[in-house]
Amino acid sequence: MIGVFILTGIAFLLAVLLVFVDSKLNEEDIDIEKVLDLLPGYNCGACGYPGCKEMSHEILKEKENYKKCVPLRGENKKKMEEYLYEGE
Amino acid sequence: MSLISLFFTSILSQNIILTRFLGICPFIGTSNKEKNAIHMGLSVILVVTLSSIITYLIYYYVLVATDTIYLRTIMFILVIASMVQLMDIVLKKYFITIHNTMGLYLPLITTNCAVLGTTLLVINNSYTFMETITFSLGSSIGFTLVIYIFSTIREKLDTSDISPSFKGIPIALLTAAIMSLVFVRYI
């Protein structure tokens, strides 16, 4: 009987650890799909990354990186800024 | 002194892949490119060392203390799976490219028998805590070393002229067999 409690207890502890780490690492509210949508989608490489997908990962790490995107101008740039900084 | 010798035996003459035949799946699966092999090796070092330490503590301070040793296997698998999951989360966040290139082989570390093998060997050989750390670090470094050497050989094999019946996996397995001889007897 004690085995049931031990197994459940340790499984519970591990689950808490995983949930804690996951929520700690993914606490930003920026969604990668949304950022990818807002980028021009030319995959031109002018930002220095292989394509828009890689660029969107960089934006997730550091918001300022959206400035590296050369074809992102005017209305679209404004939309991106609004999205990235809406919570602030 | 014995710790140092344990460290080197677990890397070389008691190598986990070539003398114990554990972890053959990632050994063949992720050794086609040098880069993949290094990523796999580093992930295995992390998972093996962390899970050996945790399973050691759980085994001696929880299972033995409460007389529930029969839960050993499921408990160890639980710990290993959690460690892999943890690494999956961390890699996805900080090293997305590595996460994508490893693909299916990352969650497959869960069932990599090199990992469960190391944690069980630690218990079977009744190592102390320091020996556990040394042994698990040594075996996983041995794993990385062999998978890396093997991947460089396989990259070379890709460009060399091999008879069609040996191309691909057959020649890779033969190479592994010869490497195994080298490691066991120090030729």
Q: How many CB pairs under 8 A join A and B?
A: 40
pLDDT at B187 over 50: no
B37 Cβ contact partners less than 8 Å away, ≥ 6 residues apart: B30, B31, B144, B147, B148, B150, B151
B73-130, pLDDT tens digit by residue? 888 899 999 999 888 888 887 787 788 777 777 888 888 888 888 888 888 888 888 8
pLDDT-derived band at B1, boundaries 50, 70, 90: low
Give residue for tokens 């944690």. B119
The predicted pLDDT at position A88 comes to 58
On chain B, the residues whose CB falls within 8 A of the CB of A57 are 96
**Whether B79 and A14 lie within 8 Å, measured CB to CB:** yes
Across the interface, of B62, B78, B96, the residue whose CB is closest to A57 is B96
**Whether B66 and A25 lie within 8 Å, measured CB to CB:** no
**Whether A14 and B90 lie within 8 Å, measured CB to CB:** no
On chain B, the residues whose CB falls within 8 A of the CB of A3 are 68, 70-71
What mean pLDDT value characterizes chain B? 85
The residues spanned by each domain of chain B are: 2-185
> What percent of chain A has pLDDT above 90?
3
Q: Chain A: give the shortest CA distance to residue B104, in Å.
A: 20
B123 Cβ contact partners less than 8 Å away, ≥ 6 residues apart: B55, B56, B59, B72
pLDDT at A49 over 80: yes
Give residue for tokens 């207890």. A9
DSSP state string for A1-33: -HHHHHHHHHHHHHHHHHHHHHHHHT-----HH
Gap between the Cα atoms of B24 and B20, Å rounded: 10
